[in-house]
Amino acid sequence: MRQAPIYVTGMGIVSALGADCRSTLMALLTRRSGVGQLRFLQTSHTEFPVGEVKLTNEAMMRYLDISENETTTRTSLMGMMAVREALQTAKLTTTAPDFKQKIALVSGTTVGGMDKSEQYYLDFLSNDTHNEYIATHDCGACTEMIADYFGIFSAVDTISTACSSAANAILKGAMLLREGRTDIAIVGGCECITKFHLNGFNTLMILDRELCRPFDATRAGLNLGEGAAYLVLETERTARERGIEPLCILSGFANTCDAYHQTASSPDGEGAYLAMTQALASAKLQPDDISYINAHGTGTLNNDLTEAHAISRVFGNRIPPFSSTKAFTGHTTSAAGSIEAVISILALQNGFIPVNLNFTTPMPELPITPATDEYARKPLRHVLTNSFGFGGNDTALIFSAP
């Protein structure tokens, strides 16, 4: 039985590349990375390049018209900005008196409000001057702050599966639509860089002190990033009633968990392989139908080799152009799935392959090479994007031209 299509009718993004879709597109086309030296996070570990959003919290609050006395977190502020753009591009005017659609918000994050709780932790122990931030630590509190800012959501949910969180939020929103539990779903994720975040990845010894080089033989780790991105998902019926044209279709999706290791991918990329093959099956597509793969491609020794193995298993000797865009944005962890979904949709809309920055030397274990040609113009029909989380929680999404 043919399933009703899930339309993407709006999207918004905030990352190291800029604070909207247009600036993101321009950065991708001109090969301008947003990764550089730390500016805003107060830490002694300034030796690590990061993909910071080039805005202070105060600047985001002014943009959003939020009082300086309001209790907010950096994660939630970036989320508000991205949701705002997504609603605008979807022409979702929810203030009209005849607006009757149910709207769900599904947001992925793992850091949540950790930026404030680590900043005021000693105050929590010794005095009551910043106790209002105790409640903002929880991941769900971040989603609630975004929901409260807009005041339009009939259902709110938070997903926390590490680096596949935002992709799983997109997947869950699609399922809510398919099950008739909502009319419109705002889905994605948000994540800021924190000291705990940075130090944790440093302890795992997977941070690169140079610019990251996904799928390169000399790769030495990832560069952390931060940001937010959200999509507006709705059914064909709702989009037609609203008179909105789709940007694309979310045609396939799948989540798997190989549970091989707490942090490492399985050597043969079993979870990634299953996610991609099941996403293709859900979209009723063959591997040859995929025009481009936006790979998870963190720049770590383990991920890139295992993902390359999985891609080779799925596509054989007919691998489509693929690249990791994390050298542009940094690894935005829980927000990566939606940030890279927006990047994939921009590629689909504008007919180009985002390049794999900083690549020079193929991995000796596998004879596959990511896309490196500048302005690689190509009509795209179906785009696959991967997001893999700790514990082997792997998600693949397919976006197709309408």
Alpha-carbon dihedral 136, 199, 161, 171, rounded to 10 degrees: 90
CA 49 → CA 129, 243, 272, 299, 402, distances in Å? Answer: 33, 44, 27, 13, 38
Least Cα distance to 293 among 305, 274, 302, 280 occurs for 280
Residue 331: active-site member: yes
Q: Angle, nearest 10°, between helix axes 139-150 and 74-89?
A: 40
Catalytic residue among 137, 197, 309, 331: 331
Catalytic residue among 137, 190, 212, 296: 296
Residue 163: active-site member: yes
CA 393 → CA 95, 205, 220, 334, 380, distances in Å? Answer: 38, 21, 23, 12, 28
Residue 296: active-site member: yes
Catalytic residue among 21, 163, 192, 248: 163
Return all residues near 126 (Cβ < 8 A) that are at least 6 apart: none
The one-letter amino acid code at 311 reads I
Q: Which residues are catalytic?
A: 163, 296, 331
